[in-house]
Amino acid sequence: MDIGLERLRNMVLDMADLSEKTVSTSIDAYVQGKDLRERIYAWSEQLRMLQDEVSELAVELIARYQPVASDLRFIKSCMEVAYGFSRFGRYAHDISDVLGIFGDLSKCDKTTIEQAGDQAKNMIRVSIKAFTERNVELASKLKKMDDVVDNTYLGFVKNSASNPLGDLKCTVSGTLILRYLERIADHATYVGESVLYIVSGERAARK
C-alpha cells in the first residue's frame, strides 16, 4: 500500500503545482489586461481530470487494502484536497472570463484586487506547504489570512454601495473577481484544515 500512497501523494502535489500556476496566471492576466482564457480553461480542465484520477486511486486503495487510522485519513483528505485544487482552477477560469465579459478594464483601479490576489496566492502556497509537510502550525495561519481576503471583499462591496456614482463596469467586475478570490481563499483554508485531520483525526470548526 505504501507505493499506492506515495503515488496518490505525488498526484495531489502535481495538482498543487498546476492549481497555483493557474490562479497566479489568471490574476496576473487580469491586472495586465491579457486575455488568456483558452490557456486557463485548458489548465482548469486538466485539474478536473486529475481530480477524477485522484478519486479513482483513493477508492481503489480503500477497497483493496482497507486502511485504518492515519492512512485512511490521508486517503480521504487527498480526495478533499484534490477537489479544492480543482476548484482553484474553476475560479481561475471565472476570473479570466471577466475580461471577456466586460472588455477593456484598463481604467479601473485594480489596487484592491492586486492586494487580495497576492494574499490568495500566498494562501495557496502556504496550504500546499502545510499539506506537504503535515505542518499543523503552518496550516493554522490560514484562517487569519482568509479573514484578510474576506474583509477586503466586504470592504470593496460596502465602499461601492456608498459610492453609486462610480464606474459601474469597474464596480461589477471588481466585485466578481474579489468574490472568486474569496472562494479561492476559503478552499485554501479547507486544505489547511485537512492537515489537522490527517495528523490528529480532529476536524476544525468551519465558519
Report helix, strand and coil shares of the chain as percent, to nearest 5. Answer: 85, 0, 15
Averaged in consecutive runs of 10 residues, what is the pLDDT profile of the chain (207 residues)? 93 97 96 95 98 97 93 96 97 95 93 96 96 95 97 95 85 97 97 94 74
In a domain? residue 30: yes
In a domain? residue 56: yes
Query: The dihedral of CA 195, 200, 201, 202: what is its sign?
Result: negative
In a domain? residue 183: yes
CATH number at residue 60: 1.20.58.220
Cell of 190: 479547507
- Please report the pLDDT score of residue 100 as a whole number: 87
Which residue range(s) make up the domain with 138? 2-200
- Please report the pLDDT score of residue 114 as a whole number: 96
- Please report the pLDDT score of residue 85 as a whole number: 97
Please name which of 89, 100, 115, 84 lies closest in space to residue 35, comparing C-alpha atoms: 100
Q: Is the pTM of this model over 0.85?
A: yes
Domain count, the chain: 1
In a domain? residue 69: yes
In a domain? residue 206: no
In a domain? residue 207: no
In a domain? residue 85: yes
CA–CA distance, 24 with 117 (Å, rounded to integer): 8
